[in-house]
Chain A
Amino acid sequence: MANAREILSRMNSVRDTRKITNAMYLISSNKLRKSKQMLEDTEPYFYTLQAVIQRILRHIPDIQHPYFSDSRLKNEDEKSRALVVITGDKGLAGAYNHNVLKAAQDWMERGANHHLYVVGELGRQYFAAKHMPVEEQFHYTVQNPTMHRARRISSVLMEDYESGKIDEVWILFTQMVNSLSEEVQLKQLLPLQRESFQNVKIPVSMIQEEIQMVPTPQAVMDHIVPNYVTGFIYGALVESFCSEQNARVMAMKSASDNASALLDELSVQYNRVRQAAITQEITEVVGGAKAQRKKEKIG
């Protein structure tokens, strides 16, 4: 068994660590409150925008447009694909970053020609350490998601897409399912998939309305799609930010709880060791005194 002093210094170090994790817990729960509000404000926009785009895709007449999947006739393995990866700026957020990076790895194994667009310091370091070329980094964009930053990211993507440098745009972000669980989401932003809505069964009785595009379907798509990409990126940034804070709150809470449990255990151990030391000392004193008395009697 370790001696009393060792246990004491261990307890001190655990106590110090608990102070740090507790402070981080408080900070991130404060940030979580802020980001939850932000998420609540953005969710109507995020989901409505997706619903509108889906409706367009259901009703779009057969037009050739660069934003549609059948516009680039290339073989699957010739296509260069871009992935926007949204990670956190810092670690200590449980499995949050690992889940995203693992999903990014899986995605990269699916094809050869890939370009990475990394948002978040942790992702940048991860790919730099693995010597994977990163197309573009967006610094300090995760901490405070704004529409301005989403516009910057989307303008880079749209430019590369329109110039033909990339043929597909994917995005990887983390979505809050509820306050206890979150999921990594991989979505294809561009080109828009016309097929993906055809397996939805339409009841016979439903009247298929005709939607007029003003002035022309072409012009509507020209304006709506870049806007949709920006909106989607903004929504994804907010979702990820909120998930990161949530993951950190949970990780720090369990770390603090663990530290407390460890301290309890250590203090029991320390008391036992201390008691053993006292008992031993008494036994030694008593034994010494007895021996002394015996000596006197004989002498």
Chain B
Amino acid sequence: MSSFSLRIIASDHVFYDGSCEILTVPAHDGPVSILAHHEAMMMATQEGEVRFRPAGSTEWQEAVVGIGIVQVVNNRALMVVDSAERPEEIDVRRAQEALERAEEQMRQKQSLQEFKMSQASMARALSRLKGSRHYQGL
């Protein structure tokens, strides 16, 4: 299978830099897979799971990511995201606490801006929980 180069850059580290055969990202209207020689494209992604298979490997690699951008140009894919974690790295308790905090805030009366903030943090917590549960095989 032909491969393309992939870089996943999170705000606090470079998550992956290498070649890969297939990449699946969470777009706003559902997951989108990218293969080698994809046409030049720019896409916004939301919180969710990214899966990719490094070149020459049969194992899939997974990451739980925050919102970001995917850019494909000249057979090079570049993904710039808020955060990227391996599912096994996720602190389930922290995510659970963040979810409860967000839920509590949502119940209170708040301004539109506060509402958007807690909505976003709720989405983040949910996607992290989902990612780690997926990893544990639940």
**Interface range for B:** 20 to 34
CB < 8 Å: which of A155, A211, A222 contacts B73? A211
Choose the segment among B34-42, B52-60, B126-134 that binds chain A (4+ C-beta atoms closer than 8 Å).
Answer: B34-42
Report whether A211 and B41 are in contact in the complex, using a CB–CB cutoff of 8 Å: yes
* Contact partners of B29 in chain A: CB under 8 A: 215
CB within 8 Å of B: which A201-243 residues: 209-215, 219-220, 222-224, 227, 230-231, 234
Q: How many Å lie between the Cα of A48 and that of B78 in the bound state?
A: 9
Contact assessment for B43 and A227 in the assembled complex, using a CB-CB cutoff below 8 Å = no
The answer to whether residues A156 and B113 also contact, given A52-B71, A209-B40 and a CB cut-off of 8 A, is: yes
Q: How far is the CA of A47 from the CA of B82 in the complex (A)?
A: 14
Tell me whether A151 and B120 are in contact in the complex, defined as CB-CB below 8 angstroms, given that A211-B73, A220-B42 are known contacts: yes
B71 touches A214 (CB 8 A): no
Q: Which residue of A is nearest B14, CB measured?
A: A44
Residues B12 and A223 in contact, CB atoms below 8 Å apart: no
Residues of B within 8 A of A195 (CB): none
Q: Check A55 for interface membership: any CB of B closer than 8 A.
A: yes
A231 and B117 contacting across the interface, CB-CB below 8 Å: no
Q: How many Å lie between the Cα of A219 and that of B10 in the bound state?
A: 22
Is B80 a contact partner of A219 (Cβ separation < 8 A)? no
B80–A49 touching, CB < 8 Å: yes
CA distance A224 to B82 in the complex (A): 11
**CB-based contact B80/A155 at 8 Å:** no
- In the assembled complex, which residues on chain B have CB atoms less than 8 Å from the CB atom of A156? 113
| Chain A to chain B contacts (Cβ below 8 Å), 18 pairs | A38-B12, A45-B12, A48-B9, A49-B69, A49-B80, A52-B71, A52-B78, A59-B42, A147-B82, A159-B113, A211-B42, A212-B40, A213-B43, A222-B44, A223-B28, A223-B46, A224-B42, A224-B69
The list of the 4 closest CB pairs from A to B, nearest first, reads A223-B44, A214-B43, A211-B40, A159-B113
